[in-house]
Amino acid sequence: MLMTTENGIRLSYHDQGHASPVLLLTGTGAPSSVWDLHQVPALRAAGFRVITMDNRGIPPSDGGTDGFTIDDLVADVAALIEHLGAAPCRVVGTSMGSYIAQELALARPELLDTVVLMAACGRSSLVQRTLAEAEAELIERGTELPRGYLAAARALHNLGPATLADDDLTADWLDLLEASGTGGPGVRAQLLLSALPDRIPAYRAIKVPCHVVSFEHDLVAPLAAGRELAAAIPGATHRTIPGCGHFGYLENPEAVNRELIRLLRAESRAPLEETA
């Protein structure tokens, strides 16, 4: 489905169910379909209305060829929640999706119920900022590296050691990552946003109930960064999912889904409808 914001931005979304809403926000360069295999079925079975969206920059949402800011992405999410009448909404983000959710909690807390921040941090490390900016520069220059090299580099950067030690699993991941391509100007804009400035002081003003979920072997948002974020947000909790990297919600979906359902049911201001 498509909606158009007041600013003329078209956003693609999927809305399934009629119970208490949960909105899932993806990471850099990822389409909303990444949630479909594991998280959407589990959350639907747990009695939630599940909303997914393609962030600006990811087709069929508008491509963002002129660039955009984190405030633009926050406004997009707020517009979708209001369009669907889904407030107060539970929100789950991963990576850049968590960054959007963190900023939304500051800007529009009245739209939110409970927020789960996976693979999240309050500031990016120097190496992560340098890598994101360099990848954005490759896209801007139109430089095409061998797809096999890109897939292997992404696998090393985003997967846990157990996955990388299993050649059969790794082969599947390499095929998937190779097919995903390098992205266009929208992905470039997302990459530049994924290099977070230091937002830790600002996040001390968040009043929405938040839960931070880190992945044990995450190189992008390490455990220490997740703990720092949770310590900054008043009342936030911190959990660790073992054995996986930055793509933990896809590497260990059973453990992630159990934690998501538990957290989304906790401290909620909105009642959850029971399924028959």
Round to whole Å and give the CA distance between 191 and 187: 6
pLDDT of residue 63: 80
The kind and range of the H/E element at 49 are: strand 48-54
**Which of the residues are catalytic?**
95, 218, 246
pLDDT of residue 275: 34
Mean pLDDT of the chain: 93
Query: How confident is the model over 24-38, as pLDDT tens digits?
Result: 999 999 999 999 999
pTM comes to: 0.94
Best CA proximity match to 234, nearest among 260, 261, 267? 267
Query: How confident is the model over 176-203, as pLDDT tens digits?
Result: 999 887 688 899 999 999 889 999 999 9
Structure-derived torsion over alpha carbons of residues 143, 12, 37, 26, reported in degrees to the nearest 10 = 60
Query: How confident is the model over 43-102, as pLDDT tens digits?
Result: 999 999 999 999 999 999 998 778 899 999 999 999 999 999 999 999 999 999 999 999
Longest CA span, the chain: 54
Query: How confident is the model over 75-90, as pLDDT tens digits?
Result: 999 999 999 999 999 9
CB 229, CB 204: distance < 8 Å: no
Which residue shows structure tokens 């899932």? 24
Round to whole Å and give the CA distance between 19 and 43: 11
Query: How confident is the model over 142-151, as pLDDT tens digits?
Result: 998 999 999 9
Task: Quote the tokens at residue 54.
Answer: 């393609």
- The percentage of the chain sitting over the pLDDT mark of 70, rounded to a whole number, equals 96
pLDDT band at 274 (very low <50, low <70, confident <90, very high): very low
Round to whole Å and give the CA distance between 46 and 253: 15
Q: What share of the chain is helix, strand, coil (3-state, %, to 5)?
A: 45, 15, 35
Paired with 116 in beta bridges are 92, 211
192: left (phi over 0), alpha (psi -120 to 50) or beta: alpha
pLDDT of residue 273: 46
Burial 148-162 (b: 16+ CB within 10 A, else e): eebbbebbeebbbeb
What would the mean pLDDT of 132-143 be, rounded to a whole number? 92
